[in-house]
Amino acid sequence: MTFDFLLTTLIIVATPGTGALYTLAAALGGGRREALVAAFGCTLGIIPHMLAAALGLAALVAAEPRLFELIRYAGIAYLVWMAIGLWRSGLAGDPGAEPRQRAWRIIRKAVLINLLNPKLSLFFLAFLPQFVDPRDPAPLMTMATLSLVFMAVTFIVFAFYGLAAASMRHGLVAHPNRMRIVNRLLSAGFLLMAGKLVLAQR
């Protein structure tokens, strides 16, 4: 593992995307605990794409246009559904559910957000091998180590975003109109991400 890998990883993770956006929504809806749960869920959602890259499955997605399109359209539909839910809700969270139920719901949504983005698999297919020496006697082990580091950085950055958003939650909850505006801004953000996925090419 090199400094270049760490720096590149930090830049990639810190660039706002659907995972960061969802973490912000969870933080504003439920506070610090749900911010950390969302960050954890988004981190878990990276695992299938990294496994796909390590095992060569990402190459199958790249080579099979219909499979890529199927995952892409599912991802677009899911992001639009998330946007509609946020637009209609008064709060970003689900205060009526039990804490454990909310946690599982947040993790499930976070994993699906990443799982239904085929560009992530192709990204890791192109990204991880750059940092593996062709002479490496155990390339899969090296890729697994790099993947774990990438996941750790993802969790730390997303948790930071979430905790920062959670610190502003009290002032928003006390003013429902402000929370409604924030929800609609987050909803617009999900629609923007869906639009980017619409325009995505293999």
Average pLDDT over residues 112-135: 76
Q: What is the DSSP letter of 2?
A: -
Domain total of the chain:
1
Asked, for residue 130, whether it belongs to a domain, the answer is yes
Residue 1, domain member (yes or no): no
Query: DSSP assignment, residue 16?
Result: -
| Alpha helices, DSSP H, located in 116-168 | 118-127, 139-166
Q: Which structural domain, as residue segments, surrounds residue 27?
A: 18-198
Rounded CA gap, 62 and 66, in Å? 10
In the predicted structure, residue 150 carries a pLDDT above the cut 70: yes
Whether 193 maps to a domain, the answer reads yes
Q: State yes or no: pLDDT of 57 exceeds 70.
A: no
Residue 154, in any domain of the structure: yes
Closest CA to 10 of 193, 164, 149: 149
Q: What is the mean pLDDT of residues 178-187?
A: 76
Of the chain, the percentage scoring pLDDT greater than 90 comes to: 14
Question: Does a structural domain hold residue 9?
Answer: no
- Token pair in block for residue 190: 């999900």
Q: How confident is the model at residue 92 (pLDDT cuts 50, 70, 90)?
A: very low
Domain contains 7: no
Note whether residue 8 is domain-resident: no
Arithmetic mean of pLDDT, 49-77: 73
Assess if residue 83 is contained within a domain. Answer: yes
Amino acid in the structure at residue 52: A
